[in-house]
Structure formats: C-alpha cells, structure tokens
Amino acid sequence: MCDASDYAVGAVLGQKIDKKLNVIYYASKTMDDAQCKYATTEKELLAIVFAFEKVSKLYSWVQEFDIEVVDKKGVENGVADHLSRMRVEDMIPINDSMPEEQLMAIMILKESFDEKVRLEEVKALRDENLPWYADIVNFMVSGEVPSSFDAYKRKKFFKDARHYYWDEPYLYKRGPDSIYRRCIAEEDVQGVLEHCHGSAYGGHFATFKTATKVLQSGLWWPTLFKDAASLHRKV
C-alpha cells in the first residue's frame, strides 16, 4: 500500500491473514523541493516507485506477475495515508556520530595495538560510545564475534542474531508477531518513551499501553517494558 501527500510519501508492506492486515514493513520519506512541485498523480506514482525501492529484494519476484494498481480512499488505506502525513514541526539536530565508524574502529585497533592496549581501548570505546546492539551489527557487517564470548555465549549470540535484519543505517528486530521493528539505542530511549506516553499521541497511559504504543510505532529495545514501568513510576 502506498500514499502521497503534498510533502511526503508513505508505504506499507503487509499480508492479509483471515481478512486482517498484518504489517511487515513501514517506510516513509519527505519529498525534496522539486518533488513537492509534482502533480498529484505524479506524487502517487512517486510513492509506488519509492515503495519498490525500499523492498527491492521483492522486485524481481513481482515482475513475474501482472500488476494492477488500485486506487483506494484514505479511510481504506489508513496506515500508508498516515505515514505520508506525519510531520515534525520541531526540527531535531542531526547527530553526526556514526556507529559504523565506531564499529570499524574496533577492527582498526586490532591491527594497530598490542593485545593489552587493544582490549583496553575496545572496552572503553564500547562502554562510552557503542549502542547495545553493536556486537550484532558488527557481526552482520564483518562476520566477527566478540572474542570474549565463551561457547555458551557464542551459541546464544548466533541464535539471537537470526532475529535481526541490518538495513543500513538501521538494525531491525523481528518480534513474536513476525513484524520487524527498528532497534533504538540507549540515548534515544527516554525521548521515545516520553513521546509515546506524554504527547497527544501517547495519551498518558500506564506501563503496558505505553510500551505497546512504542511497538505500534515500529520501535524496539530489550528493556522496553522495564523502562516504561520506570517512567510510569516517575510521573
């Protein structure tokens, strides 16, 4: 499903099971100045092109079929319609820190320092700068597993890693409902929780509903429910 507004496009990949749509993937994008000048029909077509670009791995399969584009009213296309109309009024400064560069620094340190210095530098780098999912991303990018892992940790690590998907620059986690949600670093947790609890969208609900709002927003981290409970106790 795709949709376009005056300033953005949105797309949703889903599968209907028992007449109920199960969402697999969300995507949205703000148009540039030139695209904002497109005619309405061109914007709708831009949304279709954008959707196929985001799920390019499925494109070759789709070519085997005769595709029919069906126009739907906004009420029948609610999710994609909403994604194309989400707007951030308060601009957030760009964070120039690059997790990939920090992950590559671990590999560089391996070649540049002796074993003792390397371990100390890597530990400091991990503790201060890297998100909780750094080991998983590093494994998916370079195939390396932390040398400090024993046999049990390695086995568990490989088992857990199967549920993650790396789509640069984001890491996604597949939940029990088979929906992929973007992994959030520790530094972003507080802002996400406050938005899903205290904003008009959040509704000031208790722990479970606040955490559910986060999941419905397509986000996830390991201590989600614990952090939501901690926030609820403070407010």
**What tokens were used for 189?**
């947790």
Contact in structure between 206 and 232 (CB atoms under 8 Å) = yes
pLDDT in tens, the chain (235 residues): 788 888 888 888 877 777 777 777 778 888 888 988 899 889 888 888 888 887 776 766 777 777 777 777 655 655 555 555 555 555 566 665 555 555 555 555 555 555 555 556 555 555 566 889 999 999 998 889 998 999 999 999 999 999 999 988 899 999 998 899 999 999 899 888 888 877 655 456 678 888 888 898 899 999 999 988 888 787 6
How far is 217 from 201, CA to CA, in rounded Å? 10
Return the H-helix or E-strand segment holding 208.
Answer: helix 207-216
Please state the separation of Cα 69 from the chain's center in Å: 27
How far is 78 from 71, CA to CA, in rounded Å? 13
Question: For residue 76, what are the contacts with CB-CB under 8 A and spacing of at least 6?
Answer: none
The answer, as to whether pTM is greater than 0.75, is no
CA separation (Å) from 10 to 28, 92, 162? Answer: 4, 21, 28
What domains appear along the chain, each with residue ranges and CATH number? 2-83 (3.10.20.370), 99-167 (no CATH), 184-234 (no CATH)
Helix%, strand%, coil% for the chain, nearest 5:
50, 15, 35
**What tokens were used for 38?**
């497109």
